Amino acid sequence: MDRLPPLRLLTTFEAVARHGSMRLAAARLNVTQPAVSQALRALEEHVGATLFDRATRPAQLTEAGELLARAVRDGLGQISAALEDIRALSGQDEAQVTVSCTLGMATYWLMPRLPEFYAAHPEMTVNVQAPATDLPHLSPGIDIAIRYGTGGWREGTTLKLFDERVCPVAAPALLERLQVEGVGLDRAPLIHVRSPHNQHWAGWEDYLRARGIPRARLSGQTFNNYVQAAQAVLDGRGVMLGWRSIASGAVRDGALRMWPEGEIDLGTSYYLTARLPKSLSAKVFLDWVTLSAGPV
């Protein structure tokens, strides 16, 4: 750690790398352009490598510069995130609430509703985090987790948001063609959402078993999150399982169509888990989201 350059040099370097200009970086940092140039040369001396190719206009990052830029960007991002978590833990910002949910839930259910929340509470900020594991939980800095399943979580306090239903959905042109050709779900091209972390989600195997539909092969395109899979379905690549809360907006807009008589209840729901004790901002958000719950 004692070999690290001063943080001032790293932040100056990151600003130049991000803006692609010493002039813009100087304006952003509120310093003079010669001060930026001096800081970059001091950093290069400390690192022992040339970070910018000054023969080009504007100066371009060298291979060593690219390597350091990625590391500094990631490091400063982690520091920023840690500071946000610390502020949340210490209650320094009562006007913020941080919500964890899946990427699909954030994109298709929560985000379309937030303008309504901000209209009612313009003084508040909602931070939305979608964990890479697709398993929202009350990690440090998280006030509320929106979860899919059957309940039973022990951390915090949990209440049901709404019951969920699922139905195959497809692009209108594809669904019409399959119906004309007499192709059912036993032969239709399928779109899967699979990852090592989302095995708690129902898949085509569960749906077809519940419907009593035999199918020899479950091959088809596979994606590791719902947003990617939804785009493939919108492009007419196949049929995917559409959760009512997430897919209903696209169905209502006509971008997707539900498989006729395909909707079923798999006994799952969405729940809200809140950290205890609840902050004032968390209470405000919980009151609002429970009142506005329901498919988009």
Q: pLDDT of 119-158, one tens digit each?
A: 999 989 999 998 876 778 888 888 999 998 888 888 889 9
**Do 175 and 245 fall within a single domain?**
yes
Q: Is residue 293 exposed (0-12), middle (13-18) or buried (19+ Cβ within 10 Å)?
A: middle
- Answer yes or no: is 24 within a domain: yes
Angle (CA) 107-110-116 rounded to 5° is: 125
Distance CA 201, CA 89 (A): 31
Residues 279 and 134 in one domain: yes
Q: Is residue 263 part of a domain?
A: no
> 36 with 75, same domain?
yes
pLDDT tens by residue, 166-213: 999 999 999 999 999 999 999 999 999 887 656 667 889 999 999 999
The CA distance from 113 to 81, in Å, is 25
Number of compact structural domains in the chain: 3
- Domain end: 89, 116, 146, which one? 89
Angle at 25 between CA 20 and CA 31, to 5 degrees: 160
**251 lies in the same domain as 215:** yes
The radius of gyration of the chain's CA atoms, rounded to the nearest angstrom, is 25
Flag whether 49 is in a domain: yes
Decide if 2 is inside a domain: no
Q: Which domain CATH number covers 184?
A: 3.40.190.10
Report helix, strand or coil for 192.
strand
**What residues make up the domain containing 16?**
7-89
Question: Residue 193 falls within a domain, yes or no?
Answer: yes
Please indicate, yes or no, whether residues 137 and 283 belong to a single structural domain of this protein. yes
